[in-house]
Amino acid sequence: MAELTFKDIIKPENLAYTKSKLMTDNVMHYCPGCGHGTAHQVLAEVLEEENLQSKTIGITPVGCSVLMYNYIDIDFQEAAHGRAPALATAVKRLMPDKFVFTYQGDGDLAAIGTAETIHTCNRGENILILFINNGIYGMTGGQMAPTTLEGMKSSTSPYGRNVSTMGSPIKMANIVAMLPGTCYVTRQSVNTALGARKLKRAIKKAVQYQNEKRGTCFIEVVSNCPSGWKMTPVESNKWMEENMFPFYPLGDIKVPEEK
Amino acid sequence: MEKELRLMKGNEAIAEAAIRAGADGYFGYPITPQSEILEYLMEANPQVTTGMVVLQAESEVAAINMVYGGAACGKKVMTSSSSPGISLKQEGITYIAGAELPCLIVNVVRGGPGLGTIQPAQSDYFQATKGGGHGDYHLIVLAPSSVQEMADFVEMAFDLAFKYRNPAMILSDGAIGQMMEKVWLKPQKKRSEEILPWATTGKPATREHNIITSLDLDPERQEKFNQKLIAKYREIEEHEVRYEEFMTEDAEYLFVAYGTSSRICQKALQLARAEGIKAGLLRPITLFPYPKKRLNELADTVKGMLAVEMSAGQMVEDVMLSVNGKTRVGHYGRMGGMIPTPEEVVDNLKTFIKG
């Protein structure tokens, strides 16, 4: 069999996955091997398939995904660090028929924005919170995050996270699952095709629950940070599977009763 | 609701005026001396009458960021607080200014710094008029001196905010917030259903996606944006200065005072005139933009200006900048929740006259 050229590979019939029509042509600033690009693509696929472009308002955080608004062709608001759920609360209350989501990292959601996260979930705002947990501050250059694992090295825990002085990694999904306001809490990943498909199914459920006004949907994506972790993409995925997944196990934490 | 005369607290008047002005949302957090605004709105429950959203947030920080989110949808949204709470809101306010969004922020000022007191003060003037948060920006700042103006300035502030896509602030104080006066309330206005072209309301096929942000990592573009903001502030200074004058025609000495202090000065100038001192008063209604030109003109005809404020001396700096050395400028202030009497203001005017 003749070897496929690039021209052949990009022919529609040879592609297993295609770029969502809602993804723009802007070149992403994410590092090679980073999970953000896949998470964006999966989200865009759902918005496209559910015909939500004209109904969606996304809220971006401060962190690596601060420029997410350049990559998906929907209306976006750029929040201050940690405040995305407050913006989303107002957007949804003022325009209840829109689809509203926040996209936040671990520093944004679990450190500086903890109060907004907890209280938005506690009020049961009908929004989706997409939480990308890679256990590090990526944008600022690899500092310790609230979700950094015990013993894990970062630029501000150079000898490893010492839980007796730096606190223990925080499991936000489990915390918000305890609140009556959340209807659907799940932990997913994007490091494999299977993981990405499961995330897509989870986001589709969140769309359905938001339409049904069931409460807050909280989807955590356990992801990697090759640059912050100082690993190759392949190493970082292996390290994530061996260290992050045992502490942040994948799967549903809270699911609503089907109507 | 029709036009109506009621006896109300200043705080209640703000709340009722917001409903009647067709506001879309209020987001607040309790703090003395302005909690009546949130309480009044919760009891009035406008969600069922006009559809206005009223929400008690988990913090002042969350409340101002709810205002950011609502304003980014082109909605008429507001928050209120008092000094320590306004400090907390500064992060959100600078983002709102940077994203060029219209909204209303009410500050019912109390004494500071820190937790300070719960009594009235005017010690947040710098914070309100010079920016408050980080970065180069200004709010449009209105200073009511009566319960009637508390009500009237709500709609005026919203109109100015939307005209210039800029946050507006009503800078009141605990005295005007808590005192009761009769107030004419305007008839109920319908909430706007207009979809603003820049607002994030969901991207239709007919336009590009709207992005509300205050971020631009390119310094050249960011500087251009800063210049655009400055041009907007100059335009506001050109067109939106508001002030009121009392007996300035023949005045030899001019009180300059806003809000509660201006009411005390109205009495003080009568007392001074009774003693043969030709006193006048200029009351700035807009604190940004400040009535610089008018003060500069008056500097040609008066022998001196005395700024009277419930602060250590903040607005007096704008008086000095306005007159630019043309006339003598003095300051008299009380602090920490103390309100000056007209008599002590006159005594201080006499001391000022002596030089």
A143-150: average pLDDT: 98
* Cis before B33 (ω within 30): yes
Q: How confident is the prediction for chain B on average, in pLDDT?
A: 98
Q: Among A93, A118, A119, select the one facing B25 at the smallest CB separation.
A: A93
Percent of chain A at pLDDT > 70 equals 99
Q: Among A73, A91, A115, select the one facing B69 at the smallest CB separation.
A: A91
Q: Is B55 on the interface with A (CB under 8 A)?
A: yes
B51-70: average pLDDT: 98
Cβ <8 Å between A91 and B67: no
Split at pLDDT 50, 70, 90, the class of A15 is confident
- Which pLDDT score is estimated for B271? 98
Which phi and psi (to 5°) does residue A30 adopt? -70, 150
Q: Is A116 on the interface with B (CB under 8 A)?
A: yes
Q: Among B75, B92, B200, select the one facing A80 at the smallest CB separation.
A: B92
Q: Among A87, A94, A95, select the one facing B65 at the smallest CB separation.
A: A87
How many Å apart are CA B250 and CA B264, to the nearest integer?
A: 20
Domain B4-199+228-238 matches domain B243-354 at the CATH topology level: yes
- Which CATH number is correct for A30-137+144-254, 3.40.50.970, 1.10.760.10, 3.40.50.510, 3.90.180.10? 3.40.50.970
How many Å apart are CA B113 and CA B99, to the nearest integer?
A: 29
Q: Return the minimum-mean-pLDDT range out of A11-15, B87-91, B128-132.
A: A11-15
How many Å apart are CA B216 and CA B70, to the nearest integer?
A: 22
Smallest CA–CA distance, residue B52 to chain A, in Å, is: 8
B32-43: average pLDDT: 98
Q: Show residues of chain B in contact with A83, CB under 8 Å.
A: 61-62, 65, 68, 92
- Which pLDDT score is estimated for B263? 98
- Which pLDDT score is estimated for A2? 66
Residue A259 has pLDDT above 80, yes or no: no
Q: Which residues does A201 contact at the CB level (< 8 Å), separation at least 6?
A: none
Token pair of B131 as six digits: 């920016």
Residue ranges of domains in chain B: 4-199+228-238, 243-354
Which of A29, A57, A101, A117 to mutate against chain B (most B CBs within 10 Å)? A57
- Which pLDDT score is estimated for A98? 98
pLDDT tens-digit series, residues B296-308: 999 999 999 999 9
Topology of domain B243-354, per CATH? Rossmann fold (3.40.50)
Q: At what angle do helices A84-94 and A114-123 cross, to 10 degrees?
A: 30
Strand B253-256 and strand B279-284: the pairing is parallel
Percent of chain A at pLDDT > 90 equals 92
Residue A258 has pLDDT above 90, yes or no: no
B29-58: average pLDDT: 98
Size of interface A-B (CB pairs under 8 A): 126
Smallest CA-to-CA distance from B152 within B13, B36, B3, B24 is with B13
Q: Show residues of chain A in contact with B66, CB under 8 Å.
A: 86-87, 89-90
Q: How confident is the prediction for chain A on average, in pLDDT?
A: 96
pLDDT tens-digit series, residues B130-179: 999 999 999 999 999 999 999 999 999 999 999 999 999 999 999 999 99
Cβ <8 Å between B209 and A75: yes
Q: Which residue has the tokens 């709470």?
A: B85
For the whole prediction, is pTM greater than 0.95? Answer: yes
Q: Which residue has the tokens 């496209």?
A: A48
pLDDT tens-digit series, residues B258-283: 999 999 999 999 999 999 999 999 99
How many Å apart are CA A254 and CA A176, to the nearest integer?
A: 10
Q: Among B66, B204, B209, select the one facing A76 at the smallest CB separation.
A: B209
Cβ <8 Å between A115 and B211: no
**Is the distance from CB of A24 to CB of A73 less than 8 angstroms?**
yes
**Is the distance from CB of A253 to CB of A173 less than 8 angstroms?**
yes
Cβ <8 Å between A91 and B200: yes
Q: Is B196 on the interface with A (CB under 8 A)?
A: no
Q: Is B335 on the interface with A (CB under 8 A)?
A: no
- Which pLDDT score is estimated for A1? 54
pLDDT tens-digit series, residues B104-118: 999 999 999 999 999
Provide the ipTM.
0.96
pLDDT tens-digit series, residues B194-247: 999 999 999 999 999 999 999 999 999 999 999 999 999 999 999 999 999 999
- Which pLDDT score is estimated for B135? 97
Residue ranges of domains in chain A: 30-137+144-254
Residue B355 has pLDDT above 90, yes or no: no
**Is the distance from CB of B271 to CB of B346 less than 8 angstroms?**
yes
B56-61: average pLDDT: 98
**Is the distance from CB of A223 to CB of A147 less than 8 angstroms?**
no
pLDDT tens-digit series, residues A26-82: 999 999 999 999 999 999 999 999 999 999 999 999 999 999 999 999 999 999 999
For A112, name the nearest residue in chain B, comparing CA atoms only. Answer: B61
Query: Domain spanning B4-199+228-238: which CATH class is it, in words?
Result: alpha beta
